A and B are shown apart, each in its own frame.
Chain A
């Protein structure tokens, strides 16, 4: 196993017993303790449990086990189950909930030697693009504490960007790994729908949700993904295809690979800083040996409209289970009806209510065909548009975000503008494609930008080959962001 980013480096060093997992975990926990008051990236830090897990990894290494993530401290978005920790989904409605076991992805990482240091902040139930919808206050961007880190996996992105952990798990329904990855200057990877089990991931949009890693570089994302991917008898949407060898694909290079720049969304309205950065990305691909071309996915422009029908409809159904009967906070005992209504009205925040209302509207009698039925057909047409585009390109690229991270509070009163933050990430979600955001540069005022690469469904190896070649060529600064510099060792 060759070293690469900090995940692979730590794993190599702990496996070779040059460092102990306990020492690595203690360093991570110390950084979290210092930085979290500013960042609010973590909702829960599990110091004693993490140190015990690390000591167990040291015992396993000493016993001769080969662990691909030996002693790697990871943070987990707080909508996934880690046994013995909370899973609040950043919502008051899950006050007191304790998951009965590990999510499948978490269990696989644990078996591979990972150590879980804490649970990270998110937009409530992963609904949002800024973490401002968390019931426990927003996370802040380590590059500029006045700005959002992106969302919904904003706590995970901020934690990795600030060097508190070398990697973190996020979940992505319409861009919730890639958009915060781009806003915070880290890699964010969403696997193909069906690659990683959703067991133990609290459901938002079940036909869209995927778990994926946020890391400092592409090679670390490949390592974490390789461990998590694969069929799971607990999730029938998780496919039985072999995960392949994403790490082995990193060094393949992109000589002759057809790199299709997405035509849609590149015209007027694109932030000039993003447009300028996109030109630099084009040149980077050319230098790396790629054949740069232009491709069209005509229905990509309608993706946000399709997404907010499909995802909200699924959310309204999935969130019907929060009624105060089986788990979470209970707000009323007067009658069953008031138990449901009071629990949900007091337990959910405004954005979650908005999505439930929108989804219920789209599924309701008299509107179902005009909204949900039509959106589902449009979704399949969009997927077919991608199939056609992939006949002309091996990968499709576009910016990850339409503009750099915005200021806290800037969009909270305008939900539609907030939704449009995900305009470049939602198309791949609807089509079930693997997609990765890679840091692609800093604006003049020091804010990160990201480039998104998409591949055909289950084409992760091609995706990682392109992403690794691009990352090497674009040369994103390795300096820590301002909020992390006082912590640098």
Chain B
């Protein structure tokens, strides 16, 4: 889908909030829309940077990504990681029922 610029609307903010897994109360939606609209209007100044000014090339002088040996390394162990789970049972993290749920 082609990109476009247009004013930030209530509908766009509702959609973006849903994508972000955030719930914004309807009473606050106008304020969020106004604030995000101002920020996006400010950001629109990047349009003034000409597309033919370059910017597609890789910068010089940056060393290649270091690669480590593909070998097993010691980790923190399952207990350390499981210890942070809000709910766990027999070594598994417990979440609400997924199959047959609303999503």
Contact = CB atoms under 8 A, between A and B. Distances in A.
A361 interface: yes
Nearest to A345: B23
Contacts of A381: 49, 53-55
B96 to A, nearest CB: 5
Given A237-B65, A299-B49, A361-B36, A337 B16 contact: no
B4 A366 contact: yes
Given A368-B3, A378-B55, A302 B38 contact: no
A236 B103 CA distance: 36
Interface string A322-336: 011111111001111
Contacts of A378: 46, 49, 55
Interface stretch (A94-102, A138-146, A284-292): A94-102
A107 interface: no
A128 B31 CA distance: 19
B27 interface: no
Nearest to A324: B86
B34 to A, nearest CB: 11
Contact of A360 (B16, B38, B43): B16
Given A326-B93, A337-B102, A361 B16 contact: yes
B19 A360 contact: yes
A340 B101 CA distance: 13
A366 B3 contact: yes
Interface stretch (A26-34, A58-66, A165-173, A238-246): A238-246
Interface stretch (A13-21, A351-359, A402-410, A478-486): A351-359
Contacts of B17: 357
Task: Say which size band chain A's interface belongs to.
Answer: 35 or more
Given A98-B84, A236-B67, A337 B59 contact: no
B102 A335 contact: yes
Contact of A326 (B45, B85, B102): B85
A276 interface: no
Interface in B17-73: 17, 19-24, 32, 35-36, 38-40, 42-49, 51, 53-57, 59-63, 65-68, 73
Contact of B20 (A239, A316, A325, A335): A316
Contacts of B15: 364
B84 A336 contact: no
Given A327-B84, A337-B102, A357-B36, A377 B55 contact: yes
A371 interface: yes
A318 to B, nearest CB: 13
A376 B87 CA distance: 40
Given A354-B36, A356-B20, A387-B60, A416 B42 contact: yes
B22 A302 contact: no
B7 interface: no
A309 B43 contact: yes
Contact of B103 (A336, A357, A358): A336
A209 to B, nearest CB: 17
Given A239-B63, A356-B20, A387-B60, A335 B86 contact: no
Contacts of A47: none
Contacts of A458: 61
Contacts of A98: 83-84
Contacts of A258: none
A344 B22 contact: yes
A55 interface: no
Contacts of A335: 96-97, 101-103
B84 A326 contact: yes
A333 B96 contact: yes
A254 interface: no
B59 A100 contact: no
Interface of B: 1-5, 8, 12-13, 15-17, 19-24, 32, 35-36, 38-40, 42-49, 51, 53-57, 59-63, 65-68, 73, 76, 80-81, 83-87, 93, 95-98, 101-103
**What 4 A-B pairs come out closest when comparing CB atoms?**
A369-B3, A377-B55, A370-B3, A327-B84
19 contacts: A97-B84, A101-B80, A194-B62, A302-B49, A330-B86, A335-B96, A341-B22, A342-B23, A354-B36, A357-B20, A358-B39, A366-B4, A367-B3, A367-B4, A370-B3, A377-B49, A380-B55, A383-B59, A419-B39
